[in-house]
Structure 1
Amino acid sequence: MPPDASPAPPPLTDDPAALRRALVAAGFTTDGIAELLGPLPSAALHREQRLPADLVTRETDSPIATLVRLFALGLPVTVRQLDRALAGWDTRRLAAAGLVRVDGSRVTAAYDLRPYGDEQHEWWVASDLSEVMTGQPLPVDHVLGIGGASTTLASWTPRRRVGRALDLGTGCGVQSLHLAGHAEQIVATDTSARALEIAGWNAALNGDRWDLRRGDLFAPVGDERFELIVSNPPFVITPRVAGVPTYEYRDGGRVGHGIVQTLIAQLPDHLAPGGVAQLLANWEVPTGGDWRQVVGDWFAGTGLDAWVVQRDTQDPAEYAELWAGDGGHRAGATGFEEMYAAWLADFKSRDIGTIGFGVITVQRPETARKPWLDLVEITGPVQSPMGPAIDAGLRARTWLAEAGDDGLLDARLRVADDVTEERHGRPGADDPSVIVIRQGGGLRRAFQVDTAVAAYVSVADGELTVRQALDAIATLLEVSPDALIADALPVLRDLVADGLLVR
């Protein structure tokens, strides 16, 4: 079992901005590490497999190799090596700042510290040491570093300029680092005091300052409203029984998917008109049920637009195996089978057949209208980053909701640059039996269409209105224009919503 808590956080003081400059000077950057390690060890380290990087860095005594071994791999280095690695930051100063521990001539990291970035930024992020580094199960107050969920949320978040943004469940502050590039004011909340302390230090390390508040869900912000809310909430569905550890970074203290359901129910009180919320979630689907019904019910009566993309599913056993092992517990270890059984019993008590994982985009309409709801399953690769496609998709769906069918028919649309067409037919046949319109970016949607819609897409160059083009196609096909339009409209709406047709 994990320890109940981490040691008291070291006093992360001194001058974080000066440390950042020293890290840059030492080449401890994303590009510097990639150049040192090479593709294979870099990819392995991303999967939390450190042996290939260990083999590379043990062959050199360079400053960047020392820093990688210490802060990214969690391996010990010598005082002599560390004293040479960072200009102005010898071992004594790093220990006083709480970043390392010294035992004679041996130095170990007190925190994971590594560079992280996107297309425009380079940051450095401190977090608690992973179980790969310590070789022990994680303490329950562990502060998670950069992981797959946090990078997914960052990738999918639209980057509109906003006045006020809320990072709900900030953890070590990854989402707030991204928000700092396009939000004037950032409020970051968490239930964990340790997480807030580390997030505050990461803000200072990267030259930022955030309004940090402790509390559950929206309690720390009262009745305040925001133009953008991002949340990687503690959505893991964990049995509430003795013997199963509840980690602050992943367990929200509710039964089933209650944490996400509650968060969505409270969103209308905290989104400004036109405001957007971007979050990750798990959801339980009863045996024989439909995930769209489960998630769709969350938004009934909220007045919110919602776009939900289910990215993956697991059965209860797969889910139990994943999360029982997440904190460093492995099959065969003491207590693992008991935890596994507790998960299975918990799901069985609610007759759960499937657990879904996905990305939820929510918008509060600016005008009084019927909200739209779009629920889709996309399990394959998508554009990276997805934020621009999410932003465009929100605008397209909002326009469709406000314009109605007449507005769509009066629009002058053109086919997007990344769209291709595929035609499939029986050998020797004059006409194709299947026509597929495929998107190269965004969600990489593919739509099977009929001859009329394919004909429209082929002429969609912004010159004719949709109505004019469909009328002409109906004449060529010798069918009723009204019937053709009625059949084509639902498909055209999907093509506009996902960006295959643009205004």
Structure 2
Amino acid sequence: MTPNPDPTLCAALAADLQAARFRSEALRAAWGVEADDATGRGLRVPALRGLGDRDDALATLGRLLVLGVAQPLAAVDAALPALGSAGLQDLGLASVDSEVVTPRAIIRPQSYLDTERTGEWWLASDLDEIATGGGALAEDHVLGVGGASLTLAGLQLPVPAARVLDLGTGCGIQALRARRYADAVVATDLSERALRYARLNAILNQDEGIQTRHGSLFEPVAGETFDRIVSNPPFVITPRAKGVPDYEYRDGGLVGDALVEQVVRGVGQHLAPGGVAQMLGNWETRDGVDGLARLRSWVESSDIPLEAWVVEREQLDPIQYAELWIRDGGTAPGSPAHNALLTAWLDDFAARGVTGIGFGYVLLRRAVGEPRLARYERLSQPIPSEGGLGAHLALALDAHDRLAALDDHALAAATLRTAPDVTEARHHLPGVGDPQVIELRQGAGFGRAIGVDPGLAALVGACDGDLPVGTLVDAIASLLEVDAGALRAELLPRVRELVMDGFLTLD
């Protein structure tokens, strides 16, 4: 069935969902905490057992719209008094016969947390593995909210913007997130089915500031610029071979990582000066050339000068990568179909000399003047702010710009404060007084842990916003009995790194 984003029907559905308390916490309480956790692993039996024989509106809608279980017509009509089962069918979200309503889509509550408040959206998408019980997906499948989409939503900068582009919107979660801070959002997608879900979800959540446009990559916004661009593009590397499904939600139809390359090379044309693009992506280590180095070459070859901050979160070998995405498509491991797909993936990687595939976060900014930010790093440690790194990124960009305006003399005259989440660990050999390792650890942001020497540790410990950096360095040099000028030259570049990373803050 095709979603039908009719405003009147969506308004009736929203009223019924609100009346039924169709929210995450209510559902979690209804079927139990452990059962709720099990739904995150694709299991619905525990939740169904938790609901038992309850026949109230919340239980009926939970079974129908979250777990994908057909419900009696009378029960659905009672749970949706304004919309009715016929209206749900007219929306393209269910089919109805004389006695039973069968779901054709899911609607799930999705919580969010930002700098303004907490809240929740209702998000409709195609039936997922919980609702279908597994099996291969349709090639035009529209994905709901997954781990990658939540990661990107949390990465979005929580700062005001006039216009934002959501490139490859899917079900529309990035557009809804962007609208928390943007006056207007243009959401594009090559899939008309995805755009229908995005429009439906915008209307269902009473957001009138999202405009949808059909087309590939930047074609629907030719000649336009935006303050921000956000994209969870179909970046999955897929063999262009017979018998390999090309799922619209993850496959851009190009060879290797060419789609990510096209977005990186072309995004500058659509950013206003100082505008920021944020995206997720895969990049290949190919023919001995590191993946991050290849990505950097794309950035540096852009016609529009770009600043970049790229974080690679993981790297998989070809076998691991193929297994991940074959499993994502619902093909059972060990089956003849799985073996054929695995062979196609490995042949494809071998033909291009691919030995590793990186995944991570890409932040690009249209430079105003000479590009100053060029940071490419690998961070594999658990991130404490995985659901909300956007605020940290915004502060880091602001810190970078402030630091760029300070020469070493001005930095030495500045006062700094140690961030409240920073702790220090010292590691000693038994019986030895002086530590062999001093480590600063960050409880927020990227959760970095860095080794420091006694001089830098002393400086960080003394930064309370009282004395200038230069005065502190001179005092530490005296205590350590070293040359103050040499210590200043050694510490000031490290201080810049610590401010950028959030260990220290500029007053």
- The TM-score normalised by the length of structure 1 is 0.95
Of 184-193 and 268-277, more deviation after overlay is shown by 268-277
For 1:18 and 1:300, locate their aligned partners in 2 and report how far apart those are by CA, in whole Å.
51
Report the alpha carbon displacement of residue 9 of structure 1 after superposing the two structures with TM. Answer: 4.5
Any conservation in 1 of the 2:441–2:447 contact (CA below 8 Å)?
Answer: yes
Indicate whether 1:136 and 2:138 are aligned.
no
How many correspondences in the alignment?
A: 496
Any conservation in 2 of the 1:304–1:371 contact (CA below 8 Å)?
Answer: no
Question: What is aligned with 1:183?
Answer: 182
Question: What is aligned with 2:372?
Answer: 371
Any conservation in 2 of the 1:113–1:127 contact (CA below 8 Å)?
Answer: yes
User: Cα distance 1:301–1:183, how it changes in 2: closer, same or farther (>3 A)?
Assistant: same
Question: What is aligned with 2:473?
Answer: 470
Select the residue among 68, 87, 92 that pairs with 2:86.
92
AA at the equivalent of 2:201: N
AA at the equivalent of 1:180: R
AA at the equivalent of 2:505: V
Question: What is aligned with 1:261?
Answer: 261
1:450-500 CA-partner distances (Å, limit 9, x unpaired): 010011011111222222211221122121223212322332222111110
Question: What is aligned with 1:297?
Answer: 297
Question: What is aligned with 1:28?
Answer: 22
For 2:213 and 2:419, locate their aligned partners in 1 and report how far apart those are by CA, in whole Å.
44
For 2:495 and 2:294, locate their aligned partners in 1 and report how far apart those are by CA, in whole Å.
27
Any conservation in 2 of the 1:233–1:281 contact (CA below 8 Å)?
Answer: yes
Question: What is aligned with 1:110?
Answer: 104
Question: What is aligned with 2:243?
Answer: 243
Question: What is aligned with 1:429?
Answer: 432
Question: What is aligned with 2:120?
Answer: 122
Question: What is aligned with 1:73?
Answer: 67
Report the alpha carbon displacement of residue 400 of structure 1 after superposing the two structures with TM. Answer: 2.5
Report the alpha carbon displacement of residue 220 of structure 1 after superposing the two structures with TM. Answer: 0.7
User: Cα distance 1:93–1:211, how it changes in 2: closer, same or farther (>3 A)?
Assistant: closer
Question: What is aligned with 1:214?
Answer: 214
User: Cα distance 1:426–1:226, how it changes in 2: closer, same or farther (>3 A)?
Assistant: same
Any conservation in 2 of the 1:111–1:127 contact (CA below 8 Å)?
Answer: yes
For 2:3 and 2:466, locate their aligned partners in 1 and report how far apart those are by CA, in whole Å.
64
Any conservation in 1 of the 2:283–2:292 contact (CA below 8 Å)?
Answer: no
Question: What is aligned with 1:441?
Answer: 444
For 1:154 and 1:408, locate their aligned partners in 2 and report how far apart those are by CA, in whole Å.
34
Indicate whether 1:385 and 2:384 are aligned.
no
AA at the equivalent of 2:42: E
Of 41-50 and 403-412, more deviation after overlay is shown by 403-412
Structure 1: gaps spanning 5 or more residues? 1-6
Report the alpha carbon displacement of residue 427 of structure 1 after superposing the two structures with TM. Answer: 1.6
Any conservation in 2 of the 1:26–1:63 contact (CA below 8 Å)?
Answer: yes
For 1:13 and 1:163, locate their aligned partners in 2 and report how far apart those are by CA, in whole Å.
25
For 1:261 and 1:480, locate their aligned partners in 2 and report how far apart those are by CA, in whole Å.
48
Of 285-294 and 197-206, more deviation after overlay is shown by 285-294
AA at the equivalent of 2:18: V
- The TM-score normalised by the length of structure 2 is 0.94
Any conservation in 2 of the 1:170–1:188 contact (CA below 8 Å)?
Answer: yes
Any conservation in 2 of the 1:138–1:327 contact (CA below 8 Å)?
Answer: yes
SS of residue matched to 1:274:
strand
Any conservation in 2 of the 1:153–1:279 contact (CA below 8 Å)?
Answer: yes
User: Cα distance 1:39–1:418, how it changes in 2: closer, same or farther (>3 A)?
Assistant: same
Report the alpha carbon displacement of residue 78 of structure 1 after superposing the two structures with TM. Answer: 0.9
For 2:3 and 2:14, locate their aligned partners in 1 and report how far apart those are by CA, in whole Å.
20
User: Cα distance 1:198–1:118, how it changes in 2: closer, same or farther (>3 A)?
Assistant: same
Any conservation in 1 of the 2:157–2:393 contact (CA below 8 Å)?
Answer: yes
SS of residue matched to 1:121:
strand
Indicate whether 1:56 and 2:50 are aligned.
yes
Report the alpha carbon displacement of residue 404 of structure 1 after superposing the two structures with TM. Answer: 4.0
Report the alpha carbon displacement of residue 149 of structure 1 after superposing the two structures with TM. Answer: 0.8
SS of residue matched to 1:15:
helix
Select the residue among 409, 420, 424 that pairs with 2:412.
409
Any conservation in 1 of the 2:158–2:390 contact (CA below 8 Å)?
Answer: yes
Report the alpha carbon displacement of residue 412 of structure 1 after superposing the two structures with TM. Answer: 1.2
Question: What is aligned with 1:4?
Answer: none
SS of residue matched to 1:335:
helix
For 2:159 and 2:423, locate their aligned partners in 1 and report how far apart those are by CA, in whole Å.
29
Question: What is aligned with 1:492?
Answer: 495
Any conservation in 2 of the 1:12–1:98 contact (CA below 8 Å)?
Answer: no
For 2:452 and 2:196, locate their aligned partners in 1 and report how far apart those are by CA, in whole Å.
54
1:167-216 CA-partner distances (Å, limit 9, x unpaired): 00001101111122211111000011111111111111111132211111
Indicate whether 1:313 and 2:307 are aligned.
no
User: Cα distance 1:153–1:263, how it changes in 2: closer, same or farther (>3 A)?
Assistant: same
Any conservation in 2 of the 1:12–1:99 contact (CA below 8 Å)?
Answer: no
Report the alpha carbon displacement of residue 279 of structure 1 after superposing the two structures with TM. Answer: 0.7
For 1:490 and 1:11, locate their aligned partners in 2 and report how far apart those are by CA, in whole Å.
54
Report the alpha carbon displacement of residue 295 of structure 1 after superposing the two structures with TM. Answer: 2.5
Question: What is aligned with 1:353?
Answer: 355
Report the alpha carbon displacement of residue 287 of structure 1 after superposing the two structures with TM. Answer: 6.3
For 1:161 and 1:225, locate their aligned partners in 2 and report how far apart those are by CA, in whole Å.
16
Indicate whether 1:482 and 2:481 are aligned.
no
AA at the equivalent of 2:97: D
Indicate whether 1:173 and 2:187 are aligned.
no
SS of residue matched to 1:299:
helix
Question: What is aligned with 1:228?
Answer: 228
AA at the equivalent of 1:320: A
For 1:125 and 1:9, locate their aligned partners in 2 and report how far apart those are by CA, in whole Å.
12
Question: What is aligned with 1:274?
Answer: 274
User: Cα distance 1:59–1:408, how it changes in 2: closer, same or farther (>3 A)?
Assistant: farther
Aligned-residue sequence identity (percent) comes to 44
Any conservation in 2 of the 1:14–1:97 contact (CA below 8 Å)?
Answer: no
RMSD: 1.7
For 2:130 and 2:196, locate their aligned partners in 1 and report how far apart those are by CA, in whole Å.
23
Report the alpha carbon displacement of residue 376 of structure 1 after superposing the two structures with TM. Answer: 2.0
Indicate whether 1:336 and 2:338 are aligned.
yes
Question: What is aligned with 2:328?
Answer: 326
Any conservation in 1 of the 2:141–2:247 contact (CA below 8 Å)?
Answer: yes
SS of residue matched to 1:436:
strand
For 1:350 and 1:490, locate their aligned partners in 2 and report how far apart those are by CA, in whole Å.
40
Question: What is aligned with 1:149?
Answer: 148
Report the alpha carbon displacement of residue 138 of structure 1 after superposing the two structures with TM. Answer: 1.1
SS of residue matched to 2:213:
strand
AA at the equivalent of 1:123: W
